[in-house]
Structure 1
Amino acid sequence: MADFLVLVYVACYIGGGALSSLNSHRLTGVCISFFILLTFYSYKKKDFVHQCKQKEASENLRKLFDINPYPLILSRLDDGLILLTNERAQKEWPLAAEGGPQYDTRYVFRDAEDRAAVIEQLQKTSSLKNHVLQQMTAPGFTRWAIVNYETLEINHVRCILSGFTDITQLKKVEGELAKHASIDLLTGQRNSRSGMEALTQMFAESRNDWVECTLCFIDINNLKQVNDQYGHREGDALITTVCNVFAANIEPEDILFRYGGDEFIMLFFHKSNEAAEFIWAAMYKEKTSRKKQLSDNSDNAGSSPPLVH
């Protein structure tokens, strides 16, 4: 329809110019007018075709943008104003789909400092892959994601296209694996490897400062007798009960871990020998009481083992 209107316009214009030239016997004017109008028509047609192609490309890009199964956010590079979000992103962040200006710092980056660091990298490379961050999906709810950033120019405005992959479940599995690798499953305290690493780190951090602490090596008396007489289930219950007594009487800065079997290592941090002895006496009294209840054999309670310094 647009091509037809342009043709009618050109024909009328040429016809009017020809009639005017014939009346004044200026046939040269007809040729010049025809050439000018033909050039004008060719330019307008190319411009019209270019605009149609741009519109079609924009519509196709928007369709691809919307049907992408991963959240996508387009924002301005200079101030972070969100220009466009696809349907998946709107479901992930309902607040971003509400009216009013929204900024990418709330959704695309951890914070303003993280955005500044990413922008600096994008200025150098124009893209950034596999950036891991924790995002807010709704008030009080967060998730982990890997984000890929690309810079592009749209309507002479520099923008950032951010694409997200949810790795929350992967992070949970990673956390569980780390927990199982560092936690003793029976007692819930650090295992030997994790405990030795904690001691090594603490000693390394305190190398240049004088820190008073007391190191205890502990083993449970008569555990074999409990296992033989009552079974290994009761022996495990004894280990767990004794460990719970230890854990309940130490400070958060202290270190407790199961060294192996019925052996534990405990570090009283920033405590003198006398303070550690006082705490240990209270723990041993409570431990002995619980041990008697579990084994039902008061004769098995040994004397308090000495502290190892």
Structure 2
Amino acid sequence: MVWVFVGVVVGLFVLTYLSIRLLSAVRAYVEGEGLWSKGQKDAIYALTRYTLYANEADYSAYLMALAVNTGDRQARIELEKPDPDLDIARDGFLQGRNHPDDIDGMVFLFRNFRKLPDIDKAITIWAAADHHIETLTQVGERIRTAIRAGPLPPEQARQFLFQLHAINNALTPLEDRFSSTLGEAARKYTQIILVLMFFVVVLMLTLAYLFSRRLFLQFELTQEALRSGEEQLKSVLQFAPLPIIIVRLSDERVLYANNHARLQFRLGATSLERLRPRDFYVNGADRDRLIAALEATGSVTDLELLLQDADGKPFWGLYSSQRIRYEGHVCVMTALLNVDERKRAHDELRYRAYHDALTGLPNRAMFMDTLKRSLHRMERSGGTSSLLFIDLDHFKAINDELGHDMGDLLLRQVAQRIQDCVREGDLVARLGGDEFVVLVEGNDDPHRMADKVLNVLRPDYQLGAHTVRITASIGVSCFPQHGTELDTLLSAADFAMYQAKTAGRNGVQFYARPH
């Protein structure tokens, strides 16, 4: 029976490990999509400037930004092969600016879960987006050839700009669908994992209950066969793989506790006569609820309670209890299963799925869920809300000059400053890279809030031995003036942010529909 328990525990551990790795990989792809989206938009922005001004620096910026997308495309194409070269795939993901620690998980997810419907859908969207990137590359080559041949005629320049705008419009919904698909996959697989873990725990509890029941039956048989059977029962319980306690109901005195119970409750050499079972309950009402259930049915199974040991350290336990006669008294024998690790694993999985690992802020998946619920709530109540899309100016230059560690430190400080300056009910999230969003519900002036964010970001940042200064460009869209759908509002705020970039950065732009 002990080996059955060991096997179930090992299975639960393996399931938890695979679950964390799977959800971590999904999170990495969501963050990678943010980098991919930023690279694409930066590439179109730089190519637009090159078309207008024929500045070679803009063309170099276009090639550098496009390298993110072509790197990810290299990784995808290689992993699609029956026998891929994993070094080529890893190099592609690195070129796409994905974190080196995330790359093995991304390869693992692609190779082992490619045929799952949600993952397959996301990769199909990815491939469709890559097709538009190929088109962008071709347009860039034509623009380059035309400019080298001489100044662009206005009509030809307008045609090129129209093509770039069309590519951007085609890619934006694909990027949103990719993130939405992965977010849905994360939620779905989280639910599946929780269900599997639930069944594993149920199996453990069933085995625990069967084992406890077996002990109870052995105890009853021993009582009938031997008048001094208590000593034999103690011997059996002592080697049970679970904490077991016997309490006399009349005065709540502990008559017996096996070694597992002493270890679980940190009793040490404490005499049983000095123990008060009620002290082991964080909430005394739980003890009353247990006694009431025992008096009503004579037994309790799988009752989850918050307990504490002799040092006051809380833990979650599952109770299986039954009324028995022990040493001539009416008693309660309880077998306890510690489920603290399971609850912590569940909480950690949920946190990882919905939070950014670097800043601790809500990630894109959580933001999209929250925005969707907010829009439904505002639509029902007739309320208003605003969306601030924040993109740091020249962050890449600081990141390249000081290194990724300093860049990460800067992002954490920026996240903290934004959090500190908004209202308690406003949501701050990191979409990926150096992009942040703030969801402001109610009638608060979004321009005032955006200016407040700009002002709080301007003071110097201390990054180790380096002092740096950075600004931001903020685009603002409002519900319902600029749209009532999630994708529409987010795209509008994104577009307004790029208008702020075009206007010279370090400023705020409200969404204005293109003429």
Aligned partners of 1:226 and 1:295 also within 8 Å: no
Aligned to 1:282: 452
1:193 to 2:396 alignment = no
Aligned to 1:240: 412
Aligned to 1:173: 345
Query: Once the 2 structures are TM-superposed, how far is the Cα of residue 156 of structure 1 from its aligned partner?
Result: 6.0
Aligned to 2:476: none
Query: Once the 2 structures are TM-superposed, how far is the Cα of residue 183 of structure 1 from its aligned partner?
Result: 1.6
Query: Once the 2 structures are TM-superposed, how far is the Cα of residue 61 of structure 1 from its aligned partner?
Result: 0.5
Amino acid aligned to 1:54 = R
Output the CA distance in 2 between the equivalents of 1:204 and 1:159: 55
1:184 alignment partner, one of 356, 363, 366: 356
1:96 to 1:207, Cα distance in 2 relative to 1, 3 A: farther
1:266 to 2:438 alignment = yes
Output the CA distance in 2 between the equivalents of 1:201 and 1:187: 23
1:171 to 1:52, Cα distance in 2 relative to 1, 3 A: closer
Aligned to 1:144: 316
Aligned to 1:105: 278
1:53 alignment partner, one of 212, 226, 240: 226
Output the CA distance in 2 between the equivalents of 1:177 and 1:204: 27
Aligned partners of 1:183 and 1:189 also within 8 Å: yes
Query: Once the 2 structures are TM-superposed, how far is the Cα of residue 184 of structure 1 from its aligned partner?
Result: 0.3
1:90 to 2:249 alignment = no
Aligned partners of 2:391 and 2:434 also within 8 Å: yes
Output the CA distance in 2 between the equivalents of 1:231 and 1:51: 77
Query: Once the 2 structures are TM-superposed, how far is the Cα of residue 302 of structure 1 from its aligned partner?
Result: 1.8
For residues 181-234 of structure 1, the C-alpha deviation after alignment (integer angstroms, 9 at most, x for no partner) is 222012221112223344556677888778775442322234455556666555
1:131 to 2:303 alignment = yes
Query: Once the 2 structures are TM-superposed, how far is the Cα of residue 177 of structure 1 from its aligned partner?
Result: 2.5
Output the CA distance in 1 between the equivalents of 2:253 and 2:510: 63
Query: Once the 2 structures are TM-superposed, how far is the Cα of residue 137 of structure 1 from its aligned partner?
Result: 0.7
Query: Once the 2 structures are TM-superposed, how far is the Cα of residue 63 of structure 1 from its aligned partner?
Result: 1.6
Aligned partners of 2:450 and 2:508 also within 8 Å: no
Output the CA distance in 2 between the equivalents of 1:282 and 1:297: 12
Amino acid aligned to 1:84 = Y
For residues 33-65 of structure 1, the C-alpha deviation after alignment (integer angstroms, 9 at most, x for no partner) is xxxxxxxxxxxxxxxxx998211x221002223
Secondary structure of 1:176's match?
helix
Structure 2: 5+ residue stretches without partners? 1-222, 473-500
Amino acid aligned to 1:129 = T
Amino-acid identity (%):
22
Output the CA distance in 1 between the equivalents of 2:507 and 2:226: 88
Aligned partners of 2:460 and 2:470 also within 8 Å: no
1:53 to 1:78, Cα distance in 2 relative to 1, 3 A: closer
Higher strand share: 1
1:100 to 1:235, Cα distance in 2 relative to 1, 3 A: closer
RMSD between aligned alpha carbons?
4.1
Aligned to 1:294: 468
1:122 to 1:201, Cα distance in 2 relative to 1, 3 A: farther
Aligned partners of 1:241 and 1:290 also within 8 Å: no
For residues 133-163 of structure 1, the C-alpha deviation after alignment (integer angstroms, 9 at most, x for no partner) is 3221134422232322222233664322112
Query: Once the 2 structures are TM-superposed, how far is the Cα of residue 236 of structure 1 from its aligned partner?
Result: 3.9
Amino acid aligned to 2:360 = G
Output the CA distance in 2 between the equivalents of 1:297 and 1:193: 26
1:269 to 1:227, Cα distance in 2 relative to 1, 3 A: same
Output the CA distance in 2 between the equivalents of 1:127 and 1:81: 19
Q: How many residues align?
A: 255
Higher helix share: 2
Structure 1: 5+ residue stretches without partners? 1-49
Amino acid aligned to 2:431 = Y
1:156 to 1:172, Cα distance in 2 relative to 1, 3 A: same
For residues 16-49 of structure 1, the C-alpha deviation after alignment (integer angstroms, 9 at most, x for no partner) is xxxxxxxxxxxxxxxxxxxxxxxxxxxxxxxxxx
1:244 to 1:124, Cα distance in 2 relative to 1, 3 A: same
1:240 to 1:90, Cα distance in 2 relative to 1, 3 A: closer
Aligned partners of 2:461 and 2:469 also within 8 Å: yes
Aligned to 1:70: 242
